[in-house]
Amino acid sequence: MKKRRVVIGVLGTVLDKRGKRANRFKKWRPTVGLCQQPDFPVDRLELLHQPRDESMAQRLIEDVALLSPHTQVRPHAVTINDPWDFEEVYAAFLDFATHYEFDTENEEYLVHITTGTHVAQICWFLLTEARYLPASLLQTGPAPRGSSDEAIAAGVCSVIDLDLSRYATLTSRFQREQQQSVSFLKAGIDTHNATFNKLIDRIERVALRSTDPILLTGPTGAGKSFLAKRIFQLRQSRHLVAGKLVAVNCATLRGDNAMSTLFGHVKGAFTGALTARSGLLREADGGVLFLDEIAELGLDEQAMLLKAIEEKTFFPFGSDKEVRSDFQLIAGTHRDMRQWVAEGRFREDLYARINMWCFALPGLAQRREDIAPNVEYELQRFSNSKQTQIRFDKEARASYLAFACSSQAQWRGNFRELSSSIARMATLAEQGRITLSLVEEEIALLKESWQIATPQPELNMDIDLFDRRQLETVLEVCRRCASLSEAGRELFAVSRQKKANPNDADRLRKYLARFGLSWESARSDQIQ
C-alpha cells in the first residue's frame, strides 16, 4: 500500500501573501505551489500559523482546495511572540512535534523549510535531524525564467535527505578531505604500517573535534615533536586556533628557571630577575602549548600546570595576581608514565588530566614497512634544504633498504637516527649520487654504533629449540629497551591493538617468569 504524503510547514507571511484577487493565482506562493506539483501530490498539509494570521491562513486553505482538491489542509494556531527568538520558536515547534500523532506505517512526512524566518528554518532542521520529526526536508523555489504561467505559479520542489551517504559527490568530498588531513599529519609520506595508519586516523579525528590535552608517548626520535607541529598546523588550517604553537623541552628546565620559563615571573622574584617575564603559558594563549618530555617537570611545576589546564589561570612566579591563558596542551614523553606515577615522580591527578587522549607512537623498528617511504622523504627534505638534487644509485638504494629493513637494523634513535643516516650519505655524495660504496660505509658505521658484531650470550637452558629462538628474540628486545613497558609494546605491537586495555608489561613479565627470569635478569648478560 502506498503511503500518504504529509507536509508540515508554516504560513509564509510574505511570500504566501503575494498577489491580489485573481492575480494571486499567477504568483509563486511556496505553500500553495507545493500542492500544485503534478508529479508530487500532497495528501495532507499541516499548516502552522500565528493566531493573528487566521484570515490569511483561511484564504490559503480555500486556494489549495480550489487548485488541489485532493489535498486536505489542517490549520494549527501556534502563538510565537517573537519569530526571531530561537528559544521561543524551537520550544513551539518541539511542542507541536511531541504532541503530533505520527503514523509512519501509513504516512510519509516532509517538513517544508522555505517559508518562515531563518530561525524557523534552522529549528525545523534541528528537530528533523534529531528525529523529533520522522521526516525529510522539503524545499521549494521559483520556476526557471520563461516558464508558463501555470509553471510559475507552481514553482519547483526538491526533497533534502539528511542521510549524506546518499549524496555520492558530497560523500566522496568528505572522504577526500579526511584523507588529505590524515596525509597532512603524515607529511604526505605513504606509510604502510596498519597500526600506525589507524593511529594517525584517530589522531586526525581527535585533533579536529577536541581541545582536551593530548599525550604522545613513544621512544626518543619516534616523531612526537613533528606530529605535535602537524596537529597544530592542521587545527590552524581549519581556523580552530587563533594563537601560535609554543614548544619547550621540559628536560631543559630546572629550578627557578622552570617556573620562570613556563609561568613567567615578576621583576625581583629571584636573584637575577631584573625584568618581568610573561612565560610560555601566556604566549600560548589562544594556541597550542607543546611540552615535550613532560615527565621531567618538577612536582611544583606539575601542580601549577594542572591548575592552569583546568582553570585557565595561574600565578606567575613571585606574583600574587592571577593571569589567564586559554591554550590546548600537547604533551610528549618517552617515559613509562604509570611507573613514573607509582614511584611518586609524577602527580597522579595531572596524569589523569593529560591522559584524556593518549597515543603511543611506535618506533622505527616496529614500522619496517615504512622505512622505504621515510628514506625517500628524508632524502627529499635534505635536497630541498640544500637546494640540490641527491639520488641513490639503483644498487645502492636496494642495498641500503635491505639492511635498513632487516632485523639487524636496531634503529635505537628511530626516525631521528634514520634522518641522520640519510643526511650523512647525502652530504658525502659526489655529483648528487649516493653510491654503493657510500652505502656500505654507512652500514658499517651503523653496525658499529649498535655493536652488532658483539655476540649475544648463549642460553644454557634445557629447552626446546622453538622456545630457545623465541626467548632469544625477547631477551634481545629487553636489553635495548629502557623499560618493561617499552619492551612489551614492541613485542606485542600487533596483538595489543585488539585489546581494550593492553597491559604489555604484565604480559612480558609473565612470559619471562615461565623461564624463571625477571626484568632485571633478562637485561643482564649473564643468563644461565
- Quote the pLDDT of residue 174: 54
Q: Is the pLDDT of residue 473 over 70?
A: yes
- Among 176-185, 224-233, 255-264, the range scoring the smallest mean pLDDT is 176-185
Asked whether residue 130 is domain-assigned, the answer is yes
Q: Which of 68, 134, 56 has its CA nearest to residue 97?
A: 134
Q: What residues have CB less than 8 Å from 489, skipping those under 6 apart?
A: 360, 362, 366, 496, 504
CATH code, domain carrying 49: 3.40.50.10770
Q: What is the CATH number of the domain that holds 256?
A: 3.40.50.300
Residue 194 has what pLDDT? 85
Contact criterion met (CB below 8 Å) for 66 and 29: no
* Full DSSP string of 337-382: HHHHHHTTSS-HHHHHHHTSEEEEPPPGGG-GGGHHHHHHHHHHHH
Tallying the residues shown for the chain, one arrives at 528
Q: Are 45 and 74 in contact (CB under 8 A)?
A: yes
- Given a cut of 60, whether residue 507 has pLDDT beyond it is yes
* pLDDT at residue 356 greater than cutoff 80: yes
Per the rule left: phi > 0, alpha: psi between -120 and 50, beta: everything else, 392 is beta
Q: What is the pLDDT of residue 164?
A: 47
241 assigned to some structural domain: yes
Kindly report the average pLDDT of the chain as a whole number: 86
- Pick from 450, 481, 510: which residue ends a domain? 450
Q: Do 288 and 413 share a domain, yes or no?
A: no
Say if 457 falls within a structural domain: no
Residue finishing a domain among 162, 183, 201: 162
Which of 335, 360, 385 lies at the terminal end of a domain, its last residue?
A: 360
Residues paired with 136 in a beta bridge: 110
In this predicted structure, what is the pLDDT of residue 293? Answer: 94
* Residue 56 covered by a domain: yes
Query: Do both 221 and 256 map to the same domain?
Result: yes
Residues 52 and 126 in one domain: yes
Same domain, 10 and 154: yes
For residues 97 and 146, membership in a common domain is answered with yes
Same domain? For 143 and 259 the reply is: no
Say if 122 falls within a structural domain.
yes
Is the domain of 158 the same as that of 184? no
Distance CA 231, CA 207 (A): 6
- Do 124 and 192 fall within a single domain? no
* Residue range 134-150: mean pLDDT, rounded: 87
Nearest-angstrom CA–CA distance, 504 and 281 = 35
pLDDT at 225: 93
pLDDT of residue 109: 92
> Do 406 and 477 belong together in one domain?
no
Distance set, CA 19 to CA 15, 23, 29, 48, 307 (Å) = 9, 5, 9, 21, 65
pLDDT at 239: 78
Q: What's the average model confidence in pLDDT over 267-280?
A: 79
Q: Which tens digits make up the pLDDT trace of 415-462?
A: 999 999 999 999 999 989 999 999 999 999 999 888 864 444 456 677
Q: Average of pLDDT values for 473-479?
A: 85
Same domain, 236 and 377: no
The answer to whether residue 528 sits within a structural domain is no
Q: Report the 10 Å Cβ neighbour count for 186.
A: 21
**What pLDDT score was predicted for residue 162?**
60
pLDDT at 462: 75
Q: Which domain, by its residues, includes 414?
A: 367-450
* Residues 492, 442 within the same domain: no
Q: What is the pLDDT of residue 215?
A: 96
Provide DSSP, 13-40.
TTGGG-S-GGGGGGS--HHHHHTT-TTS
189 shares a domain with 150:
no
User: What's the total number of domains in the chain?
Assistant: 4
The per-residue pLDDT for range 180-225, each reduced to its tens digit, is 666 778 777 778 888 888 888 899 889 988 999 999 999 988 889 9
Q: Mean of the pLDDT values across residues 405-420?
A: 91
Least confident of 184-188, 232-236, 321-325, 501-505: 184-188
Whether residue 14 is contained in a domain is answered as yes
Residue 53 lies in a domain: yes
